[in-house]
Chains A and B, each alone.
Chain A
Amino acid sequence: MVKTVEAIDLVKQFDGLTAVDKVNMSVEKGELFGLLGPNGAGKTTTIKMLITLLKPTSGKALVAGFDVLTEADEVRRRIGYVPQESALDVRLTAAENLELFAELYGLPKSEIKPRINEVLELVDLDKRKNDLVAHYSGGMKRRLEISRGLLPTPQVLFLDEPTLGLDPQSRRVVWEFIHKLQKDWDLTILTTTHYLDEAEREMDRVAIIDKGTIMAMGRPEDLKTEFGKDVVELVIKSTDGGDSGEQLKSKLLSLELGTDLSVSDRKVRLGVPNGKTALPLIMHKIESVGLGVESISVRSPSLDDVFIKYTGRGIREDEGAQDSEDTKKQRAMMMARMRRRV
């Protein structure tokens, strides 16, 4: 297997804050690899080091066989980049936006026009190429940015949160294009997301990253199997609510109900080899220590369970808190954009 991207003990510190902590990973040729992690996990920082925008504090990284530190120019010649934040000139047309980058990527003059048409066709925007980007929808803008990343015919495409802020339908469309690219161009794609469902559904391999550290890496199916066969979720009756979360957890742990037990409020989650047979035993054990069970269910594990296992909390818990944060940021971006228009 050819390693198209390889990071070895990659570290990035920002004035004392370690954003990326000894990351080791490799992406194989033709693979669609995803970094999965909550906000602030270090996904973008990792990508920026790989595309030579940030100097690693220590460690080493190779992209398409070239060292990002010592052979930055060679790396830049072989990559396409779609940043997390939309970076388009809204007052320019799609074609004009691409034209600038065709020049910056140094495409031969005669190839610029056909190439722009080609990549726009690929993302279904060829008919709108002379429209101002200001009149584009969020999904169209994202597709335009992906097509821009394809201009230099890259060996590796870096996609930072390609679907962030899009509605479910546009998200699907974007992923369809990404899969098409991967297949038709034999493109290696390194992407990031904090949507678990996307990681599970769309990616060949994922790395779970939290607080700058890679906690687990592998194919989504493998990670889930590794977690255990089934997930049991139950809610403890509140009548026995004298116990604090910690006390409840240690009480339950002592019962040896299953693996990877986690407690949040009165909700308990754990892994068992076979849910159906385990249920009566679990009920019995819990009742034997004087606790009541309000509800109980069994399901197959998801990446969310894997995520909780490695990070001790759900990615969605972050997301809930992040939503308002995102809205705030979105507003800030809008403001910046409005000022830009003036």
Chain B
Amino acid sequence: MVLRATSAIWKREMRKWRRNRTQLISSLLLPILFLLVIGNAYSGTFSDIPVAITNLDSETPAQVFQEALQNSTSLSVVATNISISDAMAMIDDGKILGFILIPVNFSKTLLPLPWGVTVSPSTRINVTDDNTNLMVSQALEGLTAQVLNETLHDNRVASWFTDVTHLPFRLSELSIGKVDRYATGFTFIDFLAPGILLMTVLFTSLFAAGMPIILDREVGYFDMLLSTPTRRSDIVLGFTLAGVTKVIAQATFVLVIAIVLGIHMALTPLSLLYIYVLATLLGLGFVGISIAMSVKIELTAVQFVNGLINFPVFFLSGAFYPVESLPTWLRTVVYLNPMTYAVDGLRAVMIKGASILTVIPDVVFVGVFALLTQILGNLALYLALSGRQIRIRHRSQRTK
């Protein structure tokens, strides 16, 4: 058989990989942790944000508003009717993240003249929040507005209005109708799952392909391989295939976990095929990079260099942070990042169940990336091997 050496090397890598329990288990745990921790942590909804409320208005709307705030599961009202200076002190101490002040004439702004008063800064609801906690701060503002909107629709407010003015309550409102395009019940974890799957592909391919080569090089194992009458290209191919196999196995594992966790997914044979094609192509791409680096890099530097690649590739891909939240100069990086296309394509097919045709450009981009880095990686290793320039460390002692 032509590729005997290739399959022998592949087999060796698989055996080593299977028997390295610690590494295997931790590489399986990482995606689970990511899904569970990040997927749930940034789910976009909040609960029990500690706040204080001071209500200076005794009229019904203010009371209804306060009540609604207190009933909201997103908030946890830890103090009421405290002075502004006390509230500020509590924010400083970290006891509360926000302070909601309902001014004296708040309710009256709802009434037409001559019963009411005109809206002015002194009659507005005032939310002071700990804006160093950016996400919570934004959420509080949104929440208060939402609760206020609910208050205005409360029957008690309408009857209070009629009681005072003897006029029918007509709330002029501009509301936006929101329609979910896709099946309802999407959570952040669903959004995140494709990214986590590809993150696993990224991490695995960078680590699992080049690492064995570096180790073999540093302990002199490569000399043994090269002293045999084997075609150099067969050896290279063996390492590449082993790397890709590990990637596919890992991707499968994450997919199974995602299904077990009940993550929204379109699971048709075609979409599965597509998931594997994309994951494999992306894996091949980073396996190529990993192998190219393995020719030169030191064992001690691997983790560091891998981190340098992992970090921007993952975070600048839209896998986790939306592309729209990035400044323009960073977006350029995002649009050059193959991970972006893989995430985009995978998300479309996995979650939206988009037709394969619509994501062909994604596949093409990732495919070209894979092709280029494979050429680079295999060439680098092949040249190093056949030029025999692979660094042979001088060591004079064997271990027992």
State the A residues within 8 Å of B (CB): 39-40, 44, 48, 51-55, 73, 76-77, 79, 81, 83-87, 89, 91-92, 96, 99-101, 103-106, 137-139, 141-142, 148, 152, 161, 164-166, 322, 325-326, 329-330, 332-334, 336-337, 339-342
Once bound together, how far apart are the Cα atoms of A77 and B231, in whole Å?
12
B153 CB within 8 Å of chain A: no
Given contacts A326-B397, A336-B215, contact A85 B220 (CB under 8 A): yes
Would you call A104 and B8 a contact (CB within 8 A)?
yes
Once bound together, how far apart are the Cα atoms of A161 and B224, in whole Å?
15
Would you call B16 and A53 a contact (CB within 8 A)?
no
B270 CB within 8 Å of chain A: no
B95 CB within 8 Å of chain A: no
Question: Which residues of the other chain, A, contact B223 by a CB distance below 8 angstroms?
Answer: 48, 53, 81, 83, 87
Would you call B224 and A92 a contact (CB within 8 A)?
no
Residue of A nearest to B302 (CB): A339
Nearest chain B CB to A282 CB, angstrom units: 39
For window 183-224 of chain B, which residues contact chain A by CB distance below 8 Å?
Answer: 215, 218-221, 223-224
One of B19-27, B50-58, B65-73, B275-283 at the interface: B19-27
Choose among B8, B227, B230 the residue with the greatest number of A CB atoms under 10 Å from its CB.
Answer: B227
B225 CB within 8 Å of chain A: yes
B5 CB within 8 Å of chain A: yes
Would you call B227 and A51 a contact (CB within 8 A)?
yes
Once bound together, how far apart are the Cα atoms of A55 and B224, in whole Å?
16
For window 15-42 of chain B, which residues contact chain A by CB distance below 8 Å?
Answer: 15-16, 19-20, 22-23
Once bound together, how far apart are the Cα atoms of A96 and B11, in whole Å?
10
Would you call B227 and A103 a contact (CB within 8 A)?
no
B396 CB within 8 Å of chain A: yes
Nearest chain A CB to B83 CB, angstrom units: 59
Nearest chain B CB to A139 CB, angstrom units: 8
Residue among A39, A48, A152 making CB contact with B396, cutoff 8 Å: A39
Question: Which residues of the other chain, B, contact A92 by a CB distance below 8 angstroms?
Answer: 12, 15-16, 19
Chain B interface residue bracket vs A = 35 or more
Choose among B12, B19, B215 the residue with the greatest number of A CB atoms under 10 Å from its CB.
Answer: B12
Question: Which residues of the other chain, A, contact B395 by a CB distance below 8 angstroms?
Answer: 84-85, 329, 332-333
Question: Which residues of the other chain, A, contact B224 by a CB distance below 8 angstroms?
Answer: 81, 83, 87, 101, 148
Given contacts A87-B221, A89-B16, A92-B15, contact A103 B8 (CB under 8 A): yes
B364 CB within 8 Å of chain A: no
Choose among B9, B12, B229 the residue with the greatest number of A CB atoms under 10 Å from its CB.
Answer: B229
Once bound together, how far apart are the Cα atoms of A44 and B394, in whole Å?
9
Residue among B215, B227, B398 making CB contact with A84, cutoff 8 Å: B398
Nearest chain A CB to B106 CB, angstrom units: 63
Question: Which residues of the other chain, A, contact B15 by a CB distance below 8 angstroms?
Answer: 89, 91-92, 96
Among all A-B residue pairs, the 10 with the closest Cβ atoms: A138-B400, A103-B8, A76-B229, A104-B228, A85-B220, A81-B227, A329-B397, A87-B221, A86-B398, A91-B19
Residue among A87, A142, A161 making CB contact with B220, cutoff 8 Å: A87
Residue of B nearest to A326 (CB): B397
Residue among B5, B19, B399 making CB contact with A334, cutoff 8 Å: B399
Once bound together, how far apart are the Cα atoms of A110 and B152, in whole Å?
86
B241 CB within 8 Å of chain A: no
Main secondary structure of the interface of B (DSSP, over half): helix
Once bound together, how far apart are the Cα atoms of A329 and B396, in whole Å?
7
Question: Which residues of the other chain, A, contact B16 by a CB distance below 8 angstroms?
Answer: 89, 91-92
Once bound together, how far apart are the Cα atoms of A86 and B399, in whole Å?
7
Choose among B9, B218, B219 the residue with the greatest number of A CB atoms under 10 Å from its CB.
Answer: B219
Residue among B11, B221, B230, B397 making CB contact with A333, cutoff 8 Å: B397
B226 CB within 8 Å of chain A: yes
Question: Which residues of the other chain, A, contact B388 by a CB distance below 8 angstroms?
Answer: 52-55
In the complex, besides A52-B227, A340-B215, 15 extra interface pairs with C-beta distance below 8 angstroms are: A39-B396, A48-B392, A53-B223, A76-B228, A89-B221, A100-B12, A103-B7, A104-B225, A106-B5, A138-B399, A141-B400, A148-B224, A161-B396, A165-B400, A329-B395
Would you call A164 and B398 a contact (CB within 8 A)?
yes
Once bound together, how far apart are the Cα atoms of A52 and B228, in whole Å?
10
Once bound together, how far apart are the Cα atoms of A205 and B111, in whole Å?
114
Question: Which residues of the other chain, B, contact A336 by a CB distance below 8 angstroms?
Answer: 215, 218-219, 299
Question: Which residues of the other chain, A, contact B22 by a CB distance below 8 angstroms?
Answer: 342
B4 CB within 8 Å of chain A: yes
Would you call B398 and A73 a contact (CB within 8 A)?
no
Question: Which residues of the other chain, A, contact B398 by a CB distance below 8 angstroms?
Answer: 84-86, 138, 142, 161, 164-165, 333
Would you call B4 and A106 a contact (CB within 8 A)?
yes
Residue among A100, A141, A325, A341 making CB contact with B11, cutoff 8 Å: A100
Once bound together, how far apart are the Cα atoms of A334 and B400, in whole Å?
9
Question: Which residues of the other chain, A, contact B392 by a CB distance below 8 angstroms?
Answer: 48, 53-54
Once bound together, how far apart are the Cα atoms of A337 and B229, in whole Å?
27
Nearest chain B CB to A57 CB, angstrom units: 12
Q: Mark B235-259, 1 if CB is under 8 A from A, else 0.
A: 0000000000000000000000000
Would you call B228 and A101 a contact (CB within 8 A)?
yes
Once bound together, how far apart are the Cα atoms of A161 and B220, in whole Å?
14
Question: Which residues of the other chain, A, contact B19 by a CB distance below 8 angstroms?
Answer: 91-92
Would you call A100 and B9 a contact (CB within 8 A)?
yes
Nearest chain A CB to B303 CB, angstrom units: 11
Residue of A nearest to B212 (CB): A340
Residue among B4, B12, B218, B299 making CB contact with A89, cutoff 8 Å: B12
Nearest chain B CB to A161 CB, angstrom units: 8
15 CB-based A-B contacts, threshold 8 Å: A40-B396, A51-B227, A53-B223, A55-B387, A55-B388, A85-B398, A87-B221, A100-B9, A104-B225, A106-B4, A138-B400, A165-B398, A165-B400, A337-B399, A342-B22
